[in-house]
Structure 1
Amino acid sequence: MYRPLSLFIGLRYSNAKHKNKFVSFISIASILGIALGVAVLIVGLSAMNGFEKALRDQLLSVVPHGELEMVNGSFNDLQGTLKQVRSYPGILGVTPYITLNGLLQKDNQTKALQIRAISPDTESNVTQIEQYIKAGDWSLLAAGERSIILGKRVAEKLKVSVDDSLYLLLPQNQAGNRLKAPRSIRFKLVGLFEMGGQLDGALGFIHIEDAKQLLAMKNANAIAFKVDNVLDAQKIARGIAYRLSSYLYIKSWITSQGYLYQDIQMVKSLMYVILLLVVAVACFNIVSTLVMAVNEKRCDIAILKTMGASKWMLRLIFIVQGAFNGFVGCLLGAIFGTYIAVNLTQIIEKFEAVIGHKFLSGDIYFIDFLPSQVDYMQVLLIALIAFLMSVLSTVYPAWRASNIQPAQELGYSH
C-alpha cells in the first residue's frame, strides 16, 4: 500500500523510542493532557445539556410557560378571555386557575404552601403534573370533594399518606383593628407527586370549584398557557395582555425560573473557554516534544535534505508526528469522556451512596440528581477543535526542522 514518505517517516518517529527519556515523558504527557481536556469538556458540557433538558422537560412540564393574573377580582367573561388567549399565535393550550397561599396542618405538624386550584380537565393542556403522580390518582381531584394532591416532601413533613385527612388554614380579612382567626378547612389527600426537586416541597393542587367556594369567587382570577417556543414565553405573554382590556399581572417561566436557564448558558460558555485553554496548555507540550525531537533528529534531517527532501516534506514529517499525538489524545478523550457522560448520573448516585451525601439538594435546586445528556455532534466538534489546535501547535517545530543546514550538521564547511 502506497504511503507518502512524509507520512511514513512521521508515523515511524511517533512510534520510535527516543534516546532522551524526557522527550518520551513529555510526549505521553501531551497525549494525556489533550485526552483529559477533551474528556472533561465533554463531561462538563453533557452535564449542562442535562440541566437544560431537565429544565425544559421536567420543570417546564409542571410550571406554566406563561400566566396572566387579574390585579383585582376575577375575569368577568372567562370563556371569552380563554378563547382570545387560545387564538393568539404560538399558544398551544390554556387553562384557568386560582392561587392560594395557606398553611397545611396535620396534628402538630404545619407547612406553609402555595396551592394551585386547577381544572383537571384542561390542566393537561398546559402542564403534565399527572405524569409525576407516584401514589393515589389524579382523577380523584374532583369538584366538591375537598380533595388535595401534594408533593411527596410536603407529605413527609406532615407525616400523612394517601386517604389521610388534613386541614388547610386560610387567612381572613380583619374586622376593624381585630385580627380574625384563620379559617380551617378539612381536605382529603388523594395523591402524591414527586419530581425530585423544589416543587415537591412547595406546591399543592385542589379543584378550582373548591377554591371558588372557599373564596366566594364566581370565576378564576388567572389563566395559564403553554407556548410552542419556551424562549418566547415572555414576549407572547405581553402580546396577549395588551390585547385584553383587564388590568393584569404578566408572568412567565422566564421571570420566575429564567435565571436557571441563563446560568446554564453562562456556565456552558465559560466551560468552552476554560477547558479549551486546558487543551491549549496540553498542545504546548506537543510543541516541547517536537522541538526536542527536532534537536534529537538533526542528523537525520540533514541526511534527508542531502538526499533531496524538500522543506515541505520535512515540515510534513513533524506535522504528522505532532498530529498523531493530538489524534490519539483526542480519540482517547472522546471515548473516555463519552463513556463517563453517558453514565454520569449513575456514577454520581453510587458515589453519593458511598459518602452518604447528596450533591444537589431538592430543597435548593429544581432537581435532586446530576443529569447528563450527550450531544454527539458536540463531542465531534470538541474533538475536532482539539485536533486542529494540536496540528497548529506543530507549525513552529516543523518550520524550524526545515531550516536546518545539512553542511553544519554533517560537519562540512562551505
Structure 2
Amino acid sequence: MFRPLSVFIGLRYSKAKHKNKFVSFISVASIFGIVLGVAVLIIGLSTMNGFESALRDKLLSVIPHGELETVQGEFTNEQQVLTAVRSHPGVVGASPYIVINGLLQNNIKMKALQMRAIEPESETQVTSIEKYIKQGGWELLTTTENGLILGEPVAKQLGLSVGQRVTLLLPQEGETKLKAPRKFSFILTGTFKMGGQVDTTLGFIHINKAKQMLNIEHATGIAFKVDDVLQAQVISREVGYSLQVYMYVKSWITSQGHLYRDIQMVKSLMYVILLLVVAVACFNIVSTLVMAVNEKRGDIAILKTMGANKWSLRTIFMVQGAFNGFIGSVLGALLGTFIAINLSSVFSAIEGMLGRKLLSGDIYFIDYLPSQIDYQQVAVISLVAFVMSVVATIYPAWTASNIEPAKELGYSH
C-alpha cells in the first residue's frame, strides 16, 4: 500500500519549494544540464548522420563504388568481363572506362587533369554525375566526336566557355628521350558542378575517342555500382577473384574511405564526451537529493514511525530524482529535435549574417551543414539520460532509508 503513496509523496517533493533556495537552484541546474546535454548530443549526431547521408547520396553517386583495372594492357575479353561483373548478385550496374592523365592547354593557361573516357550509354548505370551537368550532357559526347565535359572551376581557370576548343597534351609513350607531347583538340560541350575535389580533378570524354588516341581496341577498366555501399570492398574483391584476369581491384573505400572513417570517429567521440556532460548533470541530482534528504529528515522520521518501510522511503527520493531526469530528458529531446530539423536553415542564416560561406564547396563535397534525425537515436539518448538520472538517486535514497527516527525526533532508549 505504500508504493503508490511513495510515488505521490516523491512527486509532491519534486514540485514543492525547498526551504533552502540553494537546493532549488541545484535542482533547476541539474534539469538544465540534462536538457543541454541531451539536446547537444542529438544535434551533434544528427549532423554526423547528415554528413554520412551526404557522403552516400552525393559523393558516392558520382564516384564508382568499385573498379577493376588491368595491370598491363587492356581487357581483350571486355564484353565477357562486363557480363560476369553484371551477373554478380551484389552489383547493380557496370560500365567500361579508360583513364588518361594529361595536361589541358588554352593559350598560355594550363591545368593537369585526369580524363575519364566513358561509354555514355552505360555510365548512367554506375554514376549519377549527369545530374550535376550544368550545360550540355552525355549525349553531346556521342554526337560530338571530340566532345569534352569539364568541371566549372576548371573551365573558369582555363578561361573556357561551352563551344570553345581546348588542347589536351599527352606524353610520348615508349620513348626514353624527351620529345614534344602529343596534342589532341577537343570542344568543350558541357560543364558540371558537384562540389569538392571532383570538380577540379576530373574531365570526361567518349571512350571511343580515347581508344583512338591510345591506339587500343578495348577498355582498360570496368567501373561498377553495388547495392550496399558499405560492403563495396568485400563485393569488389569477390568480383575480382571471380575473374581470371590479372588486375587491380579498388573500391570507393580506398579513395574516399577516410571521410567515412572520420565521420564514424567523430560520432563515437561525440557519444562519449556528451554522455559525460549528461553524467555531470545527473551528478547534480545526487547533490540535490542529498540536501533534500537533510532538509526532510524530520518528515522521514515521522513516516518511519507511521510504518513506512525502507523501500517506501527509497522510492520517494528515487521518484523525486527520476522526475527531474524525466523532465530534463524530454525537454532535451524536444529541443534537440527542433534545432536538428531546422539546423541547415539556422546555419544558412548565420552564414548570411557573417556574409561568407563557412563550408567551402571547393574543399568539402558539400557547402551546407546537413542534418538527418534518427528518431531511434533520439529515443536511446533520452532513455540513457533518464536511466543515468535514476541511477544517480540510489545513494541519496539509501541514505534516507537509514535515518533513525529516535535520533531525529529526540527520543531516547
SS of residue paired to 2:142: coil
Structure 2 unaligned spans of 5+:
none
AA matched with 1:260: L
Worse overlay, 157-166 or 13-22: 157-166
Task: Verify: 1:273 aligned to 2:272, yes or no.
Answer: yes
Report if the CA contact (8 A) 1:100-1:116 is conserved: yes
SS of residue paired to 1:122: helix
- Superposed displacement of residue 389, structure 1: 0.5
CA offsets 1:234-260 (integer angstroms, 9 cap, x no match) = 222222223323221111111111122
What is the match of residue 110 of structure 1?
Answer: 110
Worse overlay, 167-176 or 114-123: 167-176
What is the match of residue 331 of structure 1?
Answer: 330
CA offsets 1:329-367 (integer angstroms, 9 cap, x no match) = 111111111112112222222222323443333343333
Measure the CA separation in 2 of the matches of 1:272 and 1:334: 15
Measure the CA separation in 2 of the matches of 1:144 and 1:164: 13
AA matched with 1:18: H
What is the match of residue 342 of structure 1?
Answer: 341
What is the match of residue 370 of structure 1?
Answer: 369
Q: How do 1:142-161 and structure 2 match up within 5 A?
A: 142=142, 144-161=144-161
Report if the CA contact (8 A) 1:62-1:128 is conserved: yes
Worse overlay, 160-169 or 280-289: 160-169
Report if the CA contact (8 A) 2:162-2:189 is conserved: yes
SS of residue paired to 1:223: strand
- Superposed displacement of residue 162, structure 1: 2.8
Measure the CA separation in 2 of the matches of 1:332 and 1:160: 55
Q: How do 1:48-87 and structure 2 match up within 5 A?
A: 48-87=48-87
CA offsets 1:280-338 (integer angstroms, 9 cap, x no match) = 11110000000001111111111222222222221111111111111111111111111
Report if the CA contact (8 A) 2:232-2:253 is conserved: yes
SS of residue paired to 2:47: helix
What is the match of residue 22 of structure 2?
Answer: 22
SS of residue paired to 1:185: strand
AA matched with 1:161: S
Report if the CA contact (8 A) 2:97-2:220 is conserved: yes
Q: How do 1:30-45 and structure 2 match up within 5 A?
A: 30-45=30-45
- Superposed displacement of residue 27, structure 1: 0.8
Task: Verify: 1:13 aligned to 2:16, yes or no.
Answer: no
Measure the CA separation in 2 of the matches of 1:94 and 1:36: 48
User: Normalization by structure 1: what TM-score?
Assistant: 0.94
SS of residue paired to 2:203: strand
What is the match of residue 224 of structure 2?
Answer: 225
Measure the CA separation in 1 of the matches of 2:375 and 2:306: 46
Measure the CA separation in 1 of the matches of 2:14 and 2:55: 46
AA matched with 2:267: K
SS of residue paired to 2:172: coil
Measure the CA separation in 2 of the matches of 1:396 and 1:181: 83
Report if the CA contact (8 A) 1:86-1:92 is conserved: yes
- RMSD of the TM alignment (CA)? 1.8
User: Normalization by structure 2: what TM-score?
Assistant: 0.95
SS of residue paired to 1:58: helix
Measure the CA separation in 2 of the matches of 1:21 and 1:152: 64
SS of residue paired to 2:64: coil
SS of residue paired to 1:265: helix
SS of residue paired to 2:377: helix
- Superposed displacement of residue 152, structure 1: 2.3
- Note closer, same or farther for the CA distance 1:154–1:176 as it changes in structure 2 (3 Å cut): closer
Structure 1 unaligned spans of 5+:
none
Q: How do 1:89-108 and structure 2 match up within 5 A?
A: 89-108=89-108
Report if the CA contact (8 A) 1:143-1:208 is conserved: no
Measure the CA separation in 2 of the matches of 1:265 and 1:149: 34
Measure the CA separation in 1 of the matches of 2:19 and 2:135: 70
Report if the CA contact (8 A) 1:173-1:180 is conserved: no
Task: Verify: 1:47 aligned to 2:47, yes or no.
Answer: yes
Measure the CA separation in 1 of the matches of 2:243 and 2:152: 38
AA matched with 2:319: V
- Superposed displacement of residue 271, structure 1: 1.4
AA matched with 1:51: F
